Structure 1
Amino acid sequence: MTATKPARAATDVVYDLEGTLLEACSCGVLCPCWVGADPDGGSCESVNAYRFEHGTIRGVDVSGLSFINVCLIPGNVLAPGTWRVVSFVDDRADDAQFQAIIDAYHGRLGGPLADLAGLVDEVIAIERAPITHETRDGNGTLRIGDVLSADMEPFRSPDGATITTLRDSLFSTVPGSPAYVARAHHHKVDLPQYGMVWDFEGRNAIQSDYHITYTTAG
């Protein structure tokens, strides 16, 4: 009689997302939030923008789409249940893609994205919008029509060959991936209906090439 090997536990990929992050906020450079300190000025007005170069969420392909949270953070970034956000989903997303992105980034599917969503007190609104999210020669450009714009570039080494990188920080919007310290030449949001209106120059920005994945045992 031949002994049988114990079966391996199957795993289900809940989400597997790879792409670029563009982030800008009201803090000076470098943003203290990433090391767990209070934001400059006591509060933070920020934009966290994700482009999915390749990605699936519960089997739904979201490759090529973008997602943005516009955030009001009233104090320390790590205080649970304090952020107020308006979410924008790429208007090219079909209904299944739209729902998959919202479920993942609003914490309904667990994993590291649920940890981030646990910082949010209120999702003020969810909108579809045409999103421009581009990186070229290391520089980032972000647009949503007339309501949001930002242009940023990373800091580099003295010879210009290497991008300045932040690793193993206490807080991250791309858990597990390094971030590139950057400056936003300008960062503007015009959403008066949600109490979100600001216009900054020369403030903090973060960029990243990220890979976020979450699996569960089946």
Structure 2
Amino acid sequence: MNTTTTTATPTAGYHLDGTMLEICSCAVSCPCFIGEDPDGGECFGLIAFHLERGAARGVDVSGLTLVNVAHIPGNALAGGWRSVLLIDSRAEDEQVEALLDAFGGKLGGPLADLASLVGELVAVERVPIIHEAREAEGRLEAEGMLEASFAPIRVSPDGTAATLHDSAFTTVKGAPAYLGKSRRYRVTLPQHGMEWSFDGHNTIQTRWMMEHRP
């Protein structure tokens, strides 16, 4: 007797939880977070995803950082980004493949929508990354490729950090986005036609979570 068994694949998707940090050439605060066009009509930015915990395609990727360095030619939500992905060099080959499948849109769900904004993925680089950022204060470095330090904006009498709620990029309901300003922001990727320097411009950081279980 022949018996056919269908096996579900619950690990085909992803669950990723951590923070999203954006630094760019726009003046504070970020127009993209409210769906508006970037200052000057284009943006020279990066988005760093620090994965405090999570898995993609069943592969544990906790503790890793992925940075999308991008030239955005207009409204961020209109797409056409020219991007270089920087992946933490501590990631093993299996983890790199899982992250690329997730953030490249191959696993579907909301990350596929995010991936659709990239018009040209120029390169993927594996590089030592330092991510020491909390509530828009700290530093982000990718060895020889980017360097940034930043501080939160404090405008209230008691020194509380300024925040934005319910933005276009909010993925955790009720989580504030902390508004900051870069002290230093350098991208050095001449081999990919990406070199820029902006100090005193936009920084914004928020809790971030995405999941998809097909």
TM-score between both structures, scaled by the size of structure 1: 0.87
Q: Note closer, same or farther for the CA distance 1:103–1:158 as it changes in structure 2 (3 Å cut).
A: farther
Consecutive aligned runs of 4 or more in structure 1 exceeding 3 Å deviation = 10-13
Partner of 1:91: 89
Separation in 2, partners of 1:113, 1:178: 21
Identity of aligned residues (%): 51
Which among 112, 115, 134 is matched to residue 113 of structure 2? Answer: 115
Is 1:145 matched with 2:136?
Answer: no
**Equivalent-residue separation in structure 2 for 1:108 and 1:122 (angstroms):** 16
Shift, 1:72, TM fit: 0.4
TM, length-normalised to structure 2: 0.88
Look up the equivalent residue of 2:171 and give its one-letter code: P
Of 60-69 and 16-25, deviating more is 16-25
Name the CA distance, whole Å, in 2 between partners of 1:122 and 1:136.
Answer: 30
Runs (5+) with no aligned partner, structure 1: 1-9
RMSD: 1.9
What is the 5 A alignment of 1:151-170?
Answer: 151-156=149-154, 157-160=156-159, 162-170=160-168
**CA displacement, residues 155-191 of structure 1 (integer Å, 9 cap, x when unaligned):** 233312x432222223x2x634542111111110011
Q: Which residue of 2 aligns with 1:135?
A: 133
**2:138 partner SS:** strand
CA–CA distance in 2 between the matches of 1:108 and 1:140?
32
Q: Is this contact kept in 2: 1:73–1:83, CA < 8 A?
A: yes
- 1:2-151 pair list within 5 angstroms: 12=10, 14-80=13-79, 82-135=80-133, 139-151=137-149
Shift of 1:38: 1.1
Do the aligned residues in 1 keep the contact of 2:21 with 2:136 (CA within 8 Å)?
no
What is the identity, as a one-letter code, of the residue corresponding to 2:68? N
SS of equivalent residue, structure 2 residue 119 = strand
Amino acid of the residue matched to residue 204 of structure 1?
A: N
SS in 1 for 2:101: helix
Moved more, 13-22 or 44-53: 13-22
Size of the aligned set, in residue pairs, is 203
Counterpart Cα distance in 2 of 1:12 and 1:70: 31
Q: Confirm or deny that 1:209 pairs with 2:211.
A: no
CA deviations over 1:95-143 (Å, ceiling 9, x no partner): 1100011111111111111111111101000011001011258612100
Shift in Å, 1:212: 2.0
